[in-house]
């Protein structure tokens, strides 16, 4: 009995709580029933959801729920301080301090190994990372955490960005502070979105805290539809492709032919979309059941006609956050700020020092100087250089947000370069204004191909793996063996075709299916739900796979 209660209430690092576990849906059912008993009182509702969200995060990340509490208290306090200061200079000082502390905490957990590795490489040192926080926890609690590795708390990138946007928006007079710490804690920790987003904006979510609970029949049907769609995407498509094909190839590309590596890369583009959009669908559906409307996080990204269009459709909450809180403050497409020059100089300095080739280092160090001279002596180029420098900085930092490795920096840089190249190309392209269906298809294919290429660096565990995969594709495509591979992996190709086909279907057809489910009688909906869940869980071929964005 004691062991059973421990499994229910204590954190188990081997089985963190997630949307695909039976435990979560039992947890949510109990929370949901309790919520309907207390939702008429806004304060009690916020307190209730804050407490269950903290428990959810504890079951997901263990002792790191203390970090979530710290982030909540710190940013609530600083939000009030910034709001109550009368002098702009004082507001700026406290805003800068709050951003510094947030980034310091985020950097400690996320970038310590990357920074120390870079220092060791540049200066030839042998500094060994040590987790002082876990050491303190071990002393304080008698636990035995490994202090030679710095564990990444689940969802830290998401809730840190949420809390920073709150204090920044208060500074910009876009919002006023919440009424109490309970409401703010609920905003930060709302459990459906806590671990992998979407990233909430205070201006979008906090007003809903003070509104009376409402849920129409259409919204209820929509919520159930989104949750079911998320399960199909995650388990039947994303996990199936990962377990049976993608993970095997990326673990050792040299063991597989160029064609298999090529198809694994294409498959991963589908998997990462299905996995991440599935989490967003389920999270938005759960939030809607409790009366909270969360904006969509994806808009058919593989229908994009160029890289810029792709980033308006993919992970919309992050893309818009980076635009509003990084790109525009840097100067956007208007001018350069101090941050522009500091960041561009820092990036090229680090890249130059890290390059193993002297000539590459010199080129990387000369590029910012050349751009500065060009903008000074050829004024017509100044706006273009500044705009695209700001864009590249934003995409590079967006890459670092995803992970602390050169793979993610390269991935972010390639996406930034793709946007810049397209902006140049569309000025001279004879095809840009052609609206024929074939031109649209060509644009989609080119964009998808480029995005898929960049995914090699996103998925590969390190640069060597990425190089090995690209080498296999280029040098060992082995056309003669393709028919045998197609036969051997026929189930993978069926899932792949069905996945892409469902993505590229017209909006009208998708909306018809959705509306038919929403408007169907409840007994029909129940039958569809039961059948879908039965089919989905029959397709499970291994242990449940964690959502990809849990690691960010």
Confidence of residue 326 (pLDDT cuts 50, 70, 90): confident
Looking at 165, 191, 213, the residue that finishes a domain is 213
Residue 548 has pLDDT above 70, yes or no: no
Percent of the chain with pLDDT over 90: 41
Which of 32-53 are b and which e, b meaning 16 or more Cβ less than 10 Å from the residue's Cβ? eeebeeebeeeeebbbbbbebb
Domain assignment present for residue 20? The answer is: yes
The tally of CA atoms less than 13 A away on the side-chain side of residue 43 is 3
**408 belongs to a structural domain:** yes
In a domain, 374, yes or no: yes
d(CA 231, CA 275): 9
Whether 291 shows a pLDDT value over 60: the answer reads yes
- List pLDDT tens digits, range 292-317: 999 999 999 999 999 999 999 999 99
CB 219 within 8 A of CB 521: no
- Are residues 292 and 347 both part of a single domain? no
Q: What is the SS3 assignment for 131?
A: coil
Q: CB-based contacts of 81: which residues, under 8 Å, 6+ apart? A: 94
Q: Round to whole Å and give the CA distance between 114 and 54.
A: 30
pLDDT tens digit sequence for 119-138: 777 677 787 777 777 767 66
Evaluate whether residue 437 is within a structural domain. no
The number of beta carbons lying within 10 Å of the beta carbon of residue 8 is 11
Q: Is 79 helix (H, G, I), strand (E, B) or coil?
A: helix
CA distances from 520 to 217, 290, 371, 532 (A): 11, 21, 61, 15
Which residue, among 70, 69, 68, 64, has the nearest Cα to 145 in the 3D structure? 64
Structural domain contains residue 436: no
Say if residue 74 is exposed, middle or buried (CB neighbours under 10 Å; 0-12, 13-18, 19+): middle
pLDDT band at 1 (very low <50, low <70, confident <90, very high): low
pLDDT at 356 over 60: no
pLDDT band at 354 (very low <50, low <70, confident <90, very high): low
Identify the H or E element spanning 422.
helix 406-428
| Count of structural domains, the chain | 3
389 assigned to some structural domain? yes
Q: Which of 448, 442, 417 is nearest to 429 (CA)?
A: 442
Enclosing domain of residue 548: 216-298+460-552
The answer, yes or no, to whether residue 546 has pLDDT greater than 70, is no
Mean pLDDT of the chain: 84
359 confidence band (pLDDT: 50, 70, 90): low
State pLDDT tens for residues 430-479: 777 778 888 889 999 999 999 999 999 999 988 899 999 999 999 888 77
Which residue's structure tokens are 């793979």?
407
Mean of pLDDT values over 216-227: 94
pTM (two decimals)? 0.89
Among 206, 168, 152, 160, residue whose Cα is nearest residue 68: 160
User: Are residues 15 and 155 both part of a single domain?
Assistant: yes
Two tokens, residue 105: 């905490």
Confidence of residue 352 (pLDDT cuts 50, 70, 90): low
Query: Does residue 137 sit in the same domain as residue 94?
Result: yes
Place of tokens 């304060």: 43
Which range (46-50, 176-180, 544-548) has the least confidence? 544-548
The structure tokens 């869980």 sit at: 537
Question: Can you count the helices (H) and strands (E) in the chain?
Answer: 27, 0
Asked if 287 and 333 sit in the same domain, the reply is no
Output the CA torsion sign for 298, 299, 302, 305: negative
What's the half-sphere exposure (Cβ side, CA atoms, 13 Å) at 159? 32
In a domain, 443, yes or no: no
Whether 95 and 13 map to the same domain: the answer is: yes
Spatial neighbors of 447 by CB under 8 A, at least 6 apart, are 304, 305, 306, 307, 309, 310
Same domain, 310 and 273: no
Pair 204, 189 in one domain: yes
Write out pLDDT tens, residues 369-404: 777 777 777 777 777 777 887 888 888 888 888 887
Same structural domain, 326 and 347: yes
Check residue 19 and report its DSSP letter. T
Q: Could you tell me if 20 and 166 lie in one domain?
A: yes
> For residue 112, is pLDDT > 70?
yes
- The pLDDT of residue 482 is 84
Are 63 and 208 in the same domain? yes
All residues at 6 or more sequence positions from 171 whose CB lies less than 8 Å from its CB, including other chains: 82, 91, 92, 95
Q: Which of 178, 213, 248 is the last residue of a domain?
A: 213
Same structural domain for residues 393 and 505? no
Same domain, yes or no: 161 and 36: yes
Whether 441 is covered by a domain: the verdict is no
What percent of the chain is predicted at pLDDT more than 70?
A: 86
Name the nearest CA neighbour of 478 among 258, 153, 229, 191.
258
| Domain final residue, candidates 191, 213, 235 | 213
């Amino acid at each position: 009995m004691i062991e059973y209660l421990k499994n229910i209430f204590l954190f188990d690092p081997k089985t963190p709580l997630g949307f695909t576990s039976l435990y979560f849906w039992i947890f949510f059912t109990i929370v949901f029933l309790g919520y309907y008993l207390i939702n008429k009182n806004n304060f009690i509702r916020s307190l209730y959801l804050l407490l269950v969200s903290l428990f959810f995060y504890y079951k997901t990340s263990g002792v790191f729920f203390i970090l979530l509490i710290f982030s909540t208290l710190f940013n609530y306090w600083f939000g009030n301080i910034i709001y109550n200061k009368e002098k702009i200079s004082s507001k700026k000082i406290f805003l800068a301090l709050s951003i510094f502390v947030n980034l310091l905490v985020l950097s400690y957990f996320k970038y310590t190994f990357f920074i120390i590795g870079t220092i060791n490489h540049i200066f030839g040192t042998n500094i060994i990372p040590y987790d002082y926080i876990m050491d303190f926890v071990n002393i304080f609690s008698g636990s035995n955490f490994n202090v030679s590795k710095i564990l990444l708390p689940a969802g830290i990138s998401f809730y840190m960005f949420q809390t920073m946007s709150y204090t920044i928006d208060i500074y910009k007079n876009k919002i006023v502070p919440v009424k109490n710490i309970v409401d703010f804690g609920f905003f930060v920790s709302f459990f459906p979105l806590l671990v992998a987003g979407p990233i909430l904006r205070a201006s979008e979510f906090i007003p809903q805290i003070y509104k009376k609970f409402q849920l129409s029949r259409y919204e209820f049907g929509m919520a159930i539809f989104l949750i079911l769609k998320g399960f199909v995407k995650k388990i039947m498509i994303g996990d199936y492709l990962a377990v049976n094909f993608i993970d095997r190839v990326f673990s050792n590309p040299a063991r597989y032919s160029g064609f298999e590596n090529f198809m694994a890369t294409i498959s991963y583009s589908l998997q990462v979309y299905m996995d991440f959009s599935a989490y967003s669908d389920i999270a938005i559906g759960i939030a809607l059941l409790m009366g909270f409307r969360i904006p969509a996080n994806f808009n058919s990204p593989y229908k994009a006609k160029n890289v810029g269009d792709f980033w308006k459709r993919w992970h919309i909450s992050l893309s818009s956050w980076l635009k509003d809180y990084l790109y525009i403050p840097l100067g956007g497409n208007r001018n350069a700020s101090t941050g522009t020059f500091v960041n561009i100089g820092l990036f090229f300095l680090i890249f130059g020092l890290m390059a193993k080739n002297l000539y590459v280092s010199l080129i990387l160090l000369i590029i910012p100087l050349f751009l500065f001279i060009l903008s000074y002596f050829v004024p017509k180029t100044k706006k273009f250089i500044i705009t695209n420098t700001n864009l590249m900085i934003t995409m590079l930092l967006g890459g670092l947000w995803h992970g602390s490795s050169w793979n993610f920096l390269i991935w972010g840089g390639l996406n930034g370069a793709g946007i810049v190249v397209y902006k140049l190309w569309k000025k001279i392209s004879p095809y840009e204004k052609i609206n024929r269906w074939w031109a649209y298809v060509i644009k989609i294919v080119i964009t998808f191909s480029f995005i898929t290429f960049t995914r090699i660096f996103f998925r590969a565990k390190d640069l060597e793996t990425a190089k090995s995969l690209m080498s296999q594709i280029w040098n060992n495509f082995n056309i003669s063996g393709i028919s045998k591979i197609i036969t051997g992996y026929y189930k993978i190709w069926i899932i792949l075709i069905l996945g892409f086909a469902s993505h590229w279907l017209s909006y009208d057809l998708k909306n018809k299916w959705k509306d038919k489910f929403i408007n169907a009688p409840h007994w029909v909906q129940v039958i569809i739900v039961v059948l879908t869940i039965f089919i989905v869980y029959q397709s499970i071929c291994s242990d449940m796979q964690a959502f990809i964005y849990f690691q960010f």
